[in-house]
Amino acid sequence: MNLKRQLLLVSLLTLVLPWAGCEFIRETEIALREGQQQMLAGTAQAIADSLSQFPEEFLASRQGAGSGGEQLYAHPLEREPLLDGYFDDWTLAADSQRTLRGVDGSIRFVLGTIRRQLWLYVTVRDADVVYADAADPADAERVTLVSTDQAGLPFAIDFVAEAPGRIVARIAGVPEPRIAAHWQDVPGGYQLEARVPRGLLGPELGLTVHNAARTRGVVRSSTWSGARPGRLVTPSPFLTSVLRNYAQPGLRLIVTDVSGWQLAIAGGIAGGGRGRLERSGWLRLAYDAILEPGEEAALAEPDPSGRERQPYVAAALSGRPASDWFRAAETGRAVVAVAQPVWSGNVQTGAVVLQQGTDAILSLTSDALTRLVSFTLIATLVAAGALLGYASWLSQRVRRLSRGARRALDDSRAHAELPSLTAGDEIGDLSRSFASVLKRLGEYNDYLRSLASKLSHELRTPLTVVRSSLENLEHEELPEDARRYAGRARDGVERLKNILGAMSEASRVEELMGSAEPEDFDLDRVLEGAVAGYADAWPARRFRYERDVEATEMRGAPELIVQMLDKLVDNAVDFSADGDEIRVALTGDDASLTISVTNPGPPLPAKMRGQLFDSMVSVRPDAADSHLGLGLYVARLIAEGHRGSIRADNTDGGVCFAVTLARR
């Protein structure tokens, strides 16, 4: 992984900052919400202490509770409905209707109260509605309210229709003009809407429905559905007026009896909390991700049935203060709720529920989140851009240093000129260290290059003295043993002469490369003539020349190229046997030409392939040959002098030396 990518990954660590900020916002929201819960709990305790002075308002709803029948609840109505047999003008939600106990859902009803009037709405699914006959109204559809009088005796209010429209209610068969009712036919059944003065009813109330069945035009049987009378629970106007004194904007107060029935409701939760979060989808997702999830806010609404069954309310009805909170999935706003039991002496009479929205908290946290995301995004982009720019600058310096070191090593003189030598940082130190190493390497290479000429110059005179002395000694009368030793000494002098000649040749080639005049020539013609001469010089070998390129013209020194080819062919002959084929090939492209010499000799050792073309390096097995390995070194000098390169590779059953030369 390069330096840019490494620093780019490091820049991603700046994302820890928004994460920490989000965690801080989340903890802040939790702390603010808990503080709001504590404040509401204190307010609820104060209201509960105030309501404990009115136990009769709580206990009034418990009159008649000993019958054990189903408890009915009369919802408070904001305005009086129109008596027309329809529910659409009731100020209640549709799910406030209850299913009559013991029925499969085909009978639903709801009770409401306003200005000392009890309103009843009943809807019945019945495929065959049987209306009453004026002569015998017994076998017909009937809705009955069952209540108790002052003596505790039950009585019934019957609603029987002879036809759709306004009907007359009867008590014990006697019409009661104070009760108004309307019977409305609808597809698949009928609906009844009635208004009953609260004074006609006792503390208990029950509802039954008589379903008449008709078979072949004759009423055969009928079925009663319903339950025995139970406690009728109605809201307390007095408690409602007391709660209104505590009502504040955005605060809802609910008072229940010990069974959870709503006795009074005041105030409401503000519907705010719709700001920038709704206008920004990505910010909405971020806000949902960091905030603590809660129950759906709709669950905090008063129960449509009129009876609170939330766990925190149930805990308060058991005598323990409790709290809970809810969050709206659409807006993110939360609702904090607390429930406090109401005690009158040692008797629990009910509970107080306080609910308040967290619009202020939502606004605070959403604004903080907006600023955090904006600032963090800018900071992350700036940090990533700065690190990327710094990485580009730093990697560029490293690349320049790498290219400089590579050029210095590739250069035959190993120049120690590197970039960033004057820099005061670590790259400057590295550059200066490289420069020092390259300088010493260059000095050593210069010493090696001049070593051959120095040795040739220094050894030539003493070698001449030894050679002349041996020649003079041969003219003297010597014993046979002495003459044999003198012959061996003369052979050694000849070998030293050849070595000095090779060393001088390397020096001359370097000088010729600097003074040779380049010319245009046909490389194919030069190689073809040279290979023909090799065939005459080494008749025991087979030479083959191949050309795989059309244009073979180039610019250079043909005599030096032939000298280079001599070294390569001589090397191939030394590592081949009689009868072996030595192949010389010419290939190339528009920019360069390549001369390859292939012989079937032994493969090159892997450790020597990188040093094969250095001065005085040889892989010949015969150490007594006194071969210094200058031939391939001379070939390399000539190749580099023509802006080319030389390499050696093992092939299947041999070795291939390839020289690439620039055309121009």
Rounding to the nearest 10 degrees, give the CA dihedral for residues 509, 512, 517, 523.
-10
Residue 512 is predicted with a pLDDT of 67
| 513 vs 145, more confident | 145
The structure's pTM equals: 0.55
Residue 369 is predicted with a pLDDT of 63
Question: Is the model's pLDDT at 637 over the cut of 80?
Answer: yes
pLDDT tens readout for residues 336-367: 899 999 999 899 999 999 998 876 555 555 56
Contact 287, 275 (CB under 8 A): no
Task: State the SS3 of 335-371.
Answer: EEEEEEEEEECCEEEEEEEEEEECHHHHHHHHHHHHH
What pLDDT band is residue 410 in, cutting at 50, 70 and 90? low
Residue 277 is predicted with a pLDDT of 43
- The tokens describing 153, both together, are 């005796």
What pLDDT band is residue 326 in, cutting at 50, 70 and 90? confident
566/568 Cα distance (integer angstroms): 6
Question: Is the model's pLDDT at 275 over the cut of 50?
Answer: no
Residue 494 is predicted with a pLDDT of 77
Q: 610 phi and psi, to 5 degrees?
A: -85, -15
Contact 584, 527 (CB under 8 A): yes
Question: pLDDT exceeding 90 applies to what percent of the chain?
Answer: 38
Question: Is the model's pLDDT at 476 over the cut of 70?
Answer: yes
SS3 state of residue 596: strand
pLDDT tens readout for residues 485-497: 888 787 787 777 7
pLDDT tens readout for residues 576-633: 899 999 999 999 999 999 999 999 888 887 766 656 777 656 666 554 444 556 788 8
Question: Is the model's pLDDT at 375 over the cut of 80?
Answer: no
168: β partners:
180
Residue 171 is predicted with a pLDDT of 92
Where is 397: in which H helix or E strand?
A: helix 359-410
What pLDDT band is residue 430 in, cutting at 50, 70 and 90? confident
Question: Is the model's pLDDT at 276 over the cut of 50?
Answer: no
Contact 72, 205 (CB under 8 A): yes
Q: DSSP readout, 172-197?
A: TTEEEEEEEEEEEEETTEEEEEEEEE
What pLDDT band is residue 504 in, cutting at 50, 70 and 90? low
Residue 382 is predicted with a pLDDT of 80
pLDDT tens readout for residues 527-581: 999 999 999 999 999 999 999 999 999 999 898 899 899 989 998 998 889 999 9
CA distances to 79, 93, 251, 275, 493 from 328, rounded to whole Å, are 30, 20, 17, 14, 107
593/558 Cα distance (integer angstroms): 14
Residue 438 is predicted with a pLDDT of 79
232/207 Cα distance (integer angstroms): 11
Where is 567: in which H helix or E strand?
A: helix 558-574
Relative to beta strand 322-327, strand 295-296 is parallel
640/283 Cα distance (integer angstroms): 66
pLDDT tens readout for residues 13-48: 767 777 777 777 777 777 877 888 899 999 999 999
Q: Which of 208, 211, 205, 74 is nearest to 130 (CA)?
A: 211
